[in-house]
Structure 1
Amino acid sequence: MIPKKLPPLPPIRDLIRVYGLSANQRFSQNFILDKNVTDTIAQHAKISEKDDLVVEVGPGPGLLTRSILDAGARRVVVVEKDSRFLPPLQQLSEASDQRLGIIMGDMLQLNHFDILKAGLAIPSAPSQISSAIESMQDPAQNHREFTGMGMNDREATIRLLGNLPFGVASPLLIQWLKMMALRQGIFQNNNKVSMTLMFQKEVAEGIVAPPSHHQRSRLSVMAQALCDVKIAYKVSASVFVPKPKVDAAVVHFERKAEPLVSGSLEKLEDVARYYFNKRRKTMGHNTNRMARLAPEVKLILDEWITEGGWDMNMRTEDVSTEQFCALARKLDRAQLKIPLT
């Protein structure tokens, strides 16, 4: 059965006034008050009643949450750090026939099993939920229970959304990419997890930047190693209250069927960090410098150069994600560390 649209609700602007919800600068908060904008974000996230779970990070007063529910999501779990937003979110949960679960906590610290448990506790979830949740005592038990209830199989579709506070957007993305690489948390096993996330426009452009783009960065390489990424929607600063100094953009991430790295992203992150720390220098200069700083790596680097791993006259921003991943795999197989300065 397709979930009903939400009943008429007070405008978000009125709820902000009633509950005294001024934006907290400490949490880098900026509200969106135009539902046309949040509806568009939900549309780019491809929300539908077919999704097993939609997770929203940092819902604030809940306008994007309304758009997600109106798009037909059957189970939505929001994670909010600021307890001031609990009353309007609870009101929204009641209006949605309890399709909305609420977790108050810091997403950077949260155990993802708590998100899955909250999703499974929503009434539209399988009927065996109550007894299963009571028996969840440890990660191994959690794994068994989620496997048995379809939240952990090849068909499970999970959407992760967020109008992320600019101050924590990049750390959150890096955490999620590392979890995706290791198939942990909501990214476990073969779950089909997509992410639709808002960043400062410059950060978003860096994430999707191709080789030879001046905004290419370590984050570009890490994201593109695992996901197909694109800017789905640009959002003017004038949409936000209070108005930030910069525009924003929504980036959509779809996990690649065949990621360019398997297992941990740590070595790839180290390789990208090393080279981008000296991005003005040529790849030859930086590669030779690495060999001097870490002589144990020299043999691998000599092989890499002989094989034509990259043009030594290139700058860091010109190197493809595939080339960075190939060197990271070589170093990882040899269990070698590289200098990060």
Structure 2
Amino acid sequence: MRKFLSRPKKSLGQNFILSSEITKRIVALAGNLENFNVIEIGPGYGALTREILAHNPKFLLAIEKDSNLVKCHDQLLNEHQGNYRIIEADAFHIIEEELIERPVKVIANLPYNVSVALFLKWLSNIKFFTSLTLMFQKEVADRIVARPNSKDYGSLSVLSQLLCDIRKEFDIEPKEFFPRPKVHSSVITVNPLPTQRFAVNLETLTKLTRVVFAQRRKMLRNSLQNITNHTETLLERAKLSGNERPENLTVEQFCLLANSISDLLMKML
């Protein structure tokens, strides 16, 4: 494998895991794989791929954007004919349902530059997946698992925790990758809920949280003016004073506020 370790592409956010101990820990978090189809994003030279295959998944589908890296998997393809496939594609643009059948688990060391976009894509269709075991830049992982009244709490936290049980499992130092990134990484486990925690229109909730967290130091009364002129009515329906800042609201309170916006818009039609 060392002969291939010379040209990682920074444009694709490529940082490859060197430690087999870390790949073992990651795959172990995904639990039993024997009755599941698995998706891996950005398999690179196959370190994590090999560990996944060692756990005998029903089928493994790897998505790799770099054509040079796809060629590195010929031996694995020969060794695991019938239950391993790698395709050259952009993971953001694939339709998972067209490529693999449920039940599906995702296990991936996500490229830093597309990790949030990919995760949001999966959240929009979260019921398709049984679980996701994902490595992010530590800063992103902290945002996903953040609780109210913390500096990392934001739109990503609210949407993730509305739809899933999420746990941060462990951090990884830069020295465990090639090339060494300038940041630490973290592995999280994501278990989709049978139904979302609170009834709410996801599109309205997403727009609301993006608007108010874009001005996170402002009180809600002020930031909500970017959404409607009926701010006080919204606050009253959601049982909020308006003096709160976005980071002070729980997921449930955001859902109440989003529902108030939806009700108000319906009455204005």
Asked if Structure 1 and Structure 2 have the same fold, meaning a TM-score greater than 0.5 normalized by the shorter chain, the answer is yes
Q: CA RMSD in A?
A: 2.0
Q: Larger radius of gyration, structure 1 or 2? A: 1
Letter in 1 for 2:94: L
Q: For residues 193 and 305 of structure 1, do their structure 2 counterparts lie closer, same or farther at Cα, with a shift above 3 Å needed?
A: same
Letter in 2 for 1:220: S
> Aligned with 2:133: secondary structure?
strand
The structure 2 residue matched to 1:245, chosen from 182, 187, 211, is 182
**Alignment match, 1:25:** 10
**Alignment match, 1:260:** 197
**Alignment match, 1:305:** 235
Q: For residues 264 and 307 of structure 1, do their structure 2 counterparts lie closer, same or farther at Cα, with a shift above 3 Å needed?
A: closer
- Give how far 1:203 is off: 0.9
User: What is the distance in 2 between the residues matched to 1:230 and 1:38?
Assistant: 18
More strand by share: 2
- Give how far 1:263 is off: 8.0
Kept in 2, the 8 Å contact 1:47–1:68? The answer is no
User: What is the distance in 2 between the residues matched to 1:103 and 1:329?
Assistant: 41
**Alignment match, 1:174:** 120
User: What is the distance in 2 between the residues matched to 1:69 and 1:311?
Assistant: 54
Q: Does 1:294 find its partner at 2:228?
A: yes
Q: Does 1:328 find its partner at 2:265?
A: no
User: What is the distance in 1 between the residues matched to 2:155 and 2:135?
Assistant: 18
Q: Does 1:161 find its partner at 2:129?
A: no
Unaligned runs of 5+ in 1: 1-14, 117-150, 337-341
- Give how far 1:311 is off: 4.0
Q: For residues 307 and 50 of structure 1, do their structure 2 counterparts lie closer, same or farther at Cα, with a shift above 3 Å needed?
A: same
Unaligned runs of 5+ in 2: none
User: What is the distance in 2 between the residues matched to 1:279 and 1:90?
Assistant: 49
Percent identical across equivalent pairs?
Answer: 30
Greater Cα shift, 327-336 or 94-103: 327-336
Letter in 2 for 1:22: R
> Aligned with 2:21: secondary structure?
helix
User: What is the distance in 2 between the residues matched to 1:276 and 1:263?
Assistant: 18
User: What is the distance in 2 between the residues matched to 1:308 and 1:327?
Assistant: 5
Kept in 2, the 8 Å contact 1:16–1:22? The answer is no
The structure 1 residue matched to 2:220, chosen from 283, 287, 291, is 283
Q: For residues 28 and 233 of structure 1, do their structure 2 counterparts lie closer, same or farther at Cα, with a shift above 3 Å needed?
A: same
Q: For residues 20 and 235 of structure 1, do their structure 2 counterparts lie closer, same or farther at Cα, with a shift above 3 Å needed?
A: closer
> Aligned with 1:168: secondary structure?
helix
> Aligned with 2:112: secondary structure?
coil
Letter in 2 for 1:317: E
Kept in 2, the 8 Å contact 1:41–1:233? The answer is no
- Give how far 1:65 is off: 0.7
**Alignment match, 2:96:** 112
- Give how far 1:227 is off: 0.7
**Alignment match, 2:65:** 81
The total of aligned residue pairs comes to 266
**Alignment match, 1:218:** 155
Segments ≥4 residues shifted beyond 4 Å: 261-264, 333-336
User: What is the distance in 2 between the residues matched to 1:75 and 1:308?
Assistant: 47
Q: For residues 294 and 305 of structure 1, do their structure 2 counterparts lie closer, same or farther at Cα, with a shift above 3 Å needed?
A: closer
- TM alignment of 1:141-160, pairs within 5 A: 151=101, 156-160=102-106
TM-score (structure 2 length as normaliser): 0.91
- Give how far 1:179 is off: 2.4
Letter in 2 for 1:48: L
> Aligned with 1:109: secondary structure?
coil
**Alignment match, 2:54:** 70
TM-score (structure 1 length as normaliser): 0.73
> Aligned with 2:125: secondary structure?
helix
User: What is the distance in 2 between the residues matched to 1:60 and 1:264?
Assistant: 37
Q: For residues 259 and 308 of structure 1, do their structure 2 counterparts lie closer, same or farther at Cα, with a shift above 3 Å needed?
A: closer
Q: For residues 66 and 255 of structure 1, do their structure 2 counterparts lie closer, same or farther at Cα, with a shift above 3 Å needed?
A: same
Kept in 2, the 8 Å contact 1:260–1:325? The answer is no
**Alignment match, 1:121:** none
- Give how far 1:279 is off: 0.4
Letter in 1 for 2:42: G
The structure 2 residue matched to 1:98, chosen from 82, 85, 97, is 82
- Give how far 1:236 is off: 0.9
